[in-house]
Amino acid sequence: MSVSSNASSASIKDSVDSPSSTTNTDSSELTHILNRRQEIMESQEAGIEVRRTYKVVNVYTDFPEFSRNQIKDYQKTFNTYDTARDGFLDLQELKFMMEKLGAPQTHLGLKQMIAEVDEDNDGKISFREFLLIFRKAQAGELDSDSGLNQLARLTEVDVEQVGVSGAKNFFEAKIEQQLRTNKFHDEIRAEQEERRREDEERAQRRQQFQQRAAIFQ
């Protein structure tokens, strides 16, 4: 409260003392913000739901190291675990996420994870802050056994599909599966080939038998 009253008195003083256009813009912006804050507080007191005015954050330009598809994938992952659908991963949702990924964290561990990327200090992870996790992981800025590093590593592959223990060896598993599939097809082909040869031989023997039988008739 003291901050806002100081700020508003300062801006009034500024506009009186130095009525330059820049200062006017600054003070009118500040007035707008203070008015908006007042409005929100009054609405909340009256029990009216306040729609937040989101600043447009362009994650595509803010995170040029990620492709659009990568960002879409991260968004999908984020949405999956933002079960309350409010655009933030809170402690409870992060807790559930880490459990689902097979890397459960302590309460303190979860708080540390959030704190590491919580740029706006609201105690929860926005999508922008979520992307910071992957930026840090890519830049090698995370301890290998830290919660955030586990999160980044475990969400890179489809854990649902391959299982947590297999996630590490995801690519080996894929290759092995591919080889197994090939081997399976090879075996089937060999079996069919053998059966065809047997049928042919049987047909030949029958023909020879009939020919020989014909001689003795």
Binding site for Ca ion (CB under 5 A): 82, 84, 86, 88, 93, 118, 120, 122
To Ca ion, the closest distance from the beta carbon of 57 in angstroms equals: 12
Cβ nearer to Ca ion, comparing 115 with 190? 115
CA-based nearest residue to 136, from 122, 123, 149: 149
Dist. CA 21–CA 102, nearest whole Å: 57
Cβ nearer to Ca ion, comparing 79 with 169? 79
Dist. CA 63–CA 135, nearest whole Å: 8
Dist. CA 192–CA 210, nearest whole Å: 27
Q: How buried is residue 150: exposed, middle or buried, by Cβ count under 10 Å (0-12/13-18/19+)?
A: buried
Q: Which residue minimizes CB distance to Ca ion?
A: 84
Cβ nearer to Ca ion, comparing 93 with 101? 93
To Ca ion, the closest distance from the beta carbon of 13 in angstroms equals: 34
State both tokens at 41.
Answer: 């507080």
To Ca ion, the closest distance from the beta carbon of 83 in angstroms equals: 7
Cβ nearer to Ca ion, comparing 122 with 158? 122
Residues 6+ apart with CB under 8 A from 11: 23, 26, 27, 30, 31
To Ca ion, the closest distance from the beta carbon of 89 in angstroms equals: 6
Residue 117 near residue 152 (C-beta atoms within 8 A): no
Cβ nearer to Ca ion, comparing 96 with 170? 96
To Ca ion, the closest distance from the beta carbon of 90 in angstroms equals: 5
